[in-house]
Structure 1
Amino acid sequence: MKRLPLFISALAVTLGSSAFAYTVSGTVSDADGQAIKDASVTLVKENKTTKTDEAGKFTIHEDEQPPIGINQAAVNPGYISINSGILSYSQSGSAPVQVRIFDAVGHQVLNQTLYGSGEVDLRTGTTAMGSYYAQVTMGSAKQNFRFTADGNYATSFDSKGHALLKEIQQGEKLQFVAEGFDTLFVPLGTLDTTVAVKLTKTAPAEEQFAFGYALKNNPRPSKGCGKNSTLNSVQTVENGKKYNLNVGGKNRTFFITLPKNYDNTKPHKLLIANHCMGSKAEDFVHHNPDYDHPTPYYGQQVLDKNGDYIFVAPQGNDNGTWNGKEDHQFVDEMITAMFDNYCVDTTRVFATGFSFGAMFTNSLAQDMQERLRAVAVYATADYNIWLPAAGTGRYDAKNLPIAWMAVHGKNDGMCDYNRAKNSALPRILKRNGKADANGNFTDASAEKPQEFNGNAGHLCYDFKTVDERFPVKFCSWNGEHQWTAHDGPNTKTGQGWENTWVPEEVHKFFEQF
């Protein structure tokens, strides 16, 4: 960069016991730019504190005088003068003379050690416009001053000969403290500066519970975060990969679909899709669209716009059914394998299923409340499925709540609507009531859902007496045994499943956590 001319007005200063001055000022505001009044601002190493005014402004200033009683004449080893950028120095002894120049942020641009008397061209090292600081040391005496290379080219001594720069202590910083905001530290390179800072509002401490998590709780990363998976796939398919897992001596199969932007340092939500009777897990990863498979994973993958979810599909028995306890163990160990090999948010694991897959999902909801945050069941029922019995074993029914959503056609001739409403739903509500003074969840099964009555349309009812952390939603529509509930046929094709509202409703239900 081209060297700029430097002109400094003539000035002579006796070099003795130094007197310093500095000014640190600035403004403090919040993230929206609103001034913060009464914020405490501390210059840490100097132990100087002030408060911001109504405009959020502050100033920390010091004029440091020489110690009282010192005979200036006795300790003055010499003097310096500055004229047109040339610093001349003279001393009574032969001690080394050190001249250092710093830029405005405290970076040293010149360091020379001289002897006797002489002069230094301060233009050396000042290759750009701006403020610079010079420090001259003779023996135990030291003098600091500022000069400007911006066309003004003037030194900055005050009328008493005080310099504007006090030598900054290593690690100096400003501390900002305001009620309701996070404490902020700002490192300083010089004691002559102006800053503008924004404080961040302090997030409230996350509430802790004997069971479950606060709504919108912070993610809890699994063991697999920061690691590469060691699972070996046995087949690659259109929308994922196939894996085998040995569970109780039996080979079990499941499919994994990772988001395209999968990041092993970001905790992802995990969604488990359970297939219905006559279907299979592979149908979730590649299948021609129809009323049961409009998009993969019950329509949830297409709604995952930001790649927040990992999707898995476990395979039941060869005939498309689910046996019971051994399948609970399979899903449990599959979740563990996902936690160990991928970056998963262990507090946001969801499960969903249709028909026999819904019954299996509802069965899982009875004993896996500590692993599943919420479930969505389409056309569930309480028959043809193993339901855990009450107990203390790993796969025994637990008296714990779980967030639960159901979608059911009122004209379902396969899985009876009334059986779902009068049996599956009350079983969930019995554990999901608002917690009492002792933190025990109460019985909310006395509350009945509002139901859809009409020819075309639907009604989703959110229960009012349940704990807000464990919501229950019951959606009814005037349809038959179909999970792709819809309010009317597609005007172009006549196939209503293309207008299904279910995926969006389920996505919103899961995303509230």
Structure 2
Amino acid sequence: MGKSFSALLSAAFLATMCGTASAYTLKGTVTASSDGKAIQDADVKLLKRNKATTTDEQGKFTFEEATTHLNAARSAGSFSMHNGVLNFAQNGNSPVQVKIFDMFGNQVFAQTFQGAGTVDLNSVIEAQGTYMARVKLGSTQETFRFNASGNFSGYVKQNRQALLKLDSDADTLSIAKEGYDSLKIFLPTLDTTLNIKLNEVVSEQTYAFGYALGNTPRPSKGCGKASSLKSNRKVENGEQFSLNVGGKNRTFFITLPKNYDNTKPHKLLIANHCMGSKAEDFVHHSPDYDHPTPYYGQQQLDKNGDYIFVAPQGNDNGTWNGKDDHQFVDEMITTMFDNYCVDTTRVFATGFSFGAMFTNSLAQDMQERLRAVAVYAVADYNIWLPSAGTGRYDAKDLPIAWMLVHGKGDGTCDYNRAKNSALPRILKRNGKADANGKFTDASSEKPEEIGNNQAGHVCYDFKNVDPRFPVKFCSWNGPHRWPAHDEGDYSNYNSNSWNKSWVPQTVHEFFEQF
């Protein structure tokens, strides 16, 4: 590298000089991201240097390294720098060590000088840009920032060995203010000016029952822990587990997302099988029309791995019979909470046919555990429904978010019973809360329906229900099937027709609103 030296200055003259360059000046302005207003009295700290200040009425703050004054009579010498030109002198045998780094922290120049003199640091840099010079004399060290014009245009040579990092000049800036999210910013260099925006903390409204839409997740006991559950066996899309409930061995299957993180609260989806089917059909089977894809198509839509899926097994005959099934699902949810990282406020359930009837039965007494349910071809017969009472598995006078998909041509689970019996029972508890917070009766509102023999489908969102407990009623003219679609002959459905269905995406959007 080329070097340019001026005539040597007298040591006597330099002995009277004081170095007057500040190591850095860090300035910033803190404003609210919502409206851009200045935030006063925010606590601002440099964590590594243990320095603190607060913002003024304009949201501004400043950190400045104390000016170094070197006196030749009491030190090894003196130095100063102006516009990239270094003036130096030393007493005794202490050399002046100079290193230059680019803004990525790569060392691009190093030289040791003896005696007294000046050196134009701009002239020893090959490329234009901003650089940091570190000057050391005896026990005193200063860092200066300067702009170099360079001897020629272009970039620093690629074959330069530049491995030393300027990490001692880095620090982390912390900004905190009550009512705003705290923020930490890593600063590779402190000689800079920042414009910082803080997000306001939105106060989450609380309720006597239920949660606000978009509420903060509530992590379960299993967050941060490894599961202690022992599986019976692994299957294609999950694992089988057993649970003793009331002296009876009950089985269920769990499918974790591939990127499962035990520190992230996951949503939990319970899929209930229909009569003649079994829980294993959700995780390991040859596709059929009722189970063409795992968990009623919901697993395929879980692109980010936000959900844990679980499928409980009904009784030996494949049906759901009574209170013991409610206890089984209740204890299964507790087991999931204890062993996996679950958002306890976002537990959903879904099912088809007999699985829909069982899901709808759970919705009568487990409103405190289930945030929402989606039922396909539900009806109010061949199923145990909780009676009103104060017991753990008695029906509760509480709302629940509810969605129905039902074919008007269903000859197995009567459409009119679903519309005139199952739906009003839900609406009776889901009306908008009154001044005392008690949910009112919205059952007088009637849904819009698909016309007879009309193609397509109609989904109706009820207007008079509490917004936190929406009700959606979807009708179509098909038979006893859950993966409804708007094309083709409904009587000739097969296991490949499900991918034309609008149902999985509509249900996914219904769950995702919470």
- CA offset at residue 64 of structure 1? 7.8
Give the letter for the 1:508 counterpart: E
Contact 2:32/2:38 (<8 A) preserved: no
- CA offset at residue 325 of structure 1? 0.7
1:425 and 2:423 aligned: yes
Give the aligned partner of residue 163 of structure 2. Answer: none
Give the aligned partner of residue 479 of structure 2. Answer: 480
| Residue of structure 2 aligned with 1:351, choices 349, 352, 363 | 349
- CA offset at residue 326 of structure 1? 0.5
Aligned residue-pair number:
475
Give the aligned partner of residue 459 of structure 1. Answer: 458
Contact 2:90/2:137 (<8 A) preserved: no
After superposition, the Cα gap between the structure-2 partners of 1:241 and 1:31, relative to the gap in structure 1 and judged at 3 Å, is farther
| 1:304-383 map, 5 Å | 304-383=302-381
Contact 2:24/2:144 (<8 A) preserved: no
| 1:181-200 map, 5 Å | 182=181, 184=183, 186=185, 193-200=191-198
Give the letter for the 1:333 counterpart: E
Give the aligned partner of residue 208 of structure 2. Answer: 210
Give the aligned partner of residue 509 of structure 2. Answer: 508
Give the letter for the 1:463 counterpart: F
After superposition, the Cα gap between the structure-2 partners of 1:101 and 1:35, relative to the gap in structure 1 and judged at 3 Å, is farther
Contact 1:82/1:88 (<8 A) preserved: no
Contact 2:275/2:354 (<8 A) preserved: yes
Contact 2:221/2:339 (<8 A) preserved: yes
- CA offset at residue 451 of structure 1? 1.2
- TM-score under structure 1 length normalisation: 0.75
Where structure 2 has 5 or more consecutive residues not aligned to the other structure, the ranges are 108-113, 152-168
Q: Give secondary structure in 1 for the equivalent of 2:192.
A: strand
Range moving further from structure 2, 34-43 or 432-441: 34-43
- CA offset at residue 220 of structure 1? 2.0
Give the aligned partner of residue 468 of structure 1. Answer: 467
Give the aligned partner of residue 383 of structure 2. Answer: 385
Cα shift readout 1:175-203 (whole Å, capped 9, x = no counterpart) = 76899964545577877x12344524334
After superposition, the Cα gap between the structure-2 partners of 1:9 and 1:365, relative to the gap in structure 1 and judged at 3 Å, is farther
After superposition, the Cα gap between the structure-2 partners of 1:50 and 1:185, relative to the gap in structure 1 and judged at 3 Å, is farther
Give the aligned partner of residue 164 of structure 1. Answer: none
Range moving further from structure 2, 434-443 or 326-335: 434-443
Q: Distance in 1 between matches of 2:457 and 2:147?
A: 75
After superposition, the Cα gap between the structure-2 partners of 1:306 and 1:174, relative to the gap in structure 1 and judged at 3 Å, is closer
1:267 and 2:265 aligned: yes
Q: Give secondary structure in 2 for the equivalent of 1:242.
A: strand
Q: Distance in 1 between matches of 2:285 and 2:203?
A: 46
Q: Give secondary structure in 1 for the equivalent of 2:391.
A: coil
Q: Give secondary structure in 2 for the equivalent of 1:316.
A: coil
After superposition, the Cα gap between the structure-2 partners of 1:317 and 1:146, relative to the gap in structure 1 and judged at 3 Å, is closer
Q: Distance in 2 between matches of 1:390 and 1:288?
A: 41
Contact 1:20/1:63 (<8 A) preserved: no
Where structure 1 has 5 or more consecutive residues not aligned to the other structure, the ranges are 67-72, 110-116, 154-169
Give the letter for the 1:479 counterpart: G
Q: Give secondary structure in 2 for the equivalent of 1:87.
A: strand
Contact 2:21/2:80 (<8 A) preserved: no
Give the aligned partner of residue 245 of structure 1. Answer: 243
| Residue of structure 2 aligned with 1:436, choices 411, 434, 441 | 434
Q: Distance in 2 between matches of 1:359 and 1:450?
A: 23
Give the aligned partner of residue 162 of structure 2. Answer: none
Q: Distance in 1 between matches of 2:397 and 2:35?
A: 51
Give the letter for the 2:384 counterpart: W
After superposition, the Cα gap between the structure-2 partners of 1:85 and 1:247, relative to the gap in structure 1 and judged at 3 Å, is same
Q: Distance in 1 between matches of 2:393 and 2:272?
A: 18
Q: Give secondary structure in 2 for the equivalent of 1:301.
A: helix
After superposition, the Cα gap between the structure-2 partners of 1:176 and 1:497, relative to the gap in structure 1 and judged at 3 Å, is closer
| 1:124-139 map, 5 Å | 130-134=131-135
Query: Larger radius of gyration, structure 1 or 2?
Result: 1
Cα shift readout 1:469-504 (whole Å, capped 9, x = no counterpart) = 11100111112222222223269x765655322112
Q: Distance in 1 between matches of 2:76 and 2:293?
A: 87
Over the residues paired in the alignment, what is the CA RMSD in angstroms? 4.8
| 1:276-295 map, 5 Å | 276-295=274-293
- CA offset at residue 99 of structure 1? 7.2
Cα shift readout 1:314-358 (whole Å, capped 9, x = no counterpart) = 111111111111000100111111112222221111111111111
Give the aligned partner of residue 298 of structure 1. Answer: 296
Q: Give secondary structure in 1 for the equivalent of 2:364.
A: helix
Q: Distance in 1 between matches of 2:297 and 2:79?
A: 81
Q: Give secondary structure in 1 for the equivalent of 2:475.
A: strand
Give the aligned partner of residue 399 of structure 1. Answer: 397
- TM-score under structure 2 length normalisation: 0.75
Q: Distance in 2 between matches of 1:409 and 1:215?
A: 30
- What percentage of aligned pairs have identical amino acids? 60
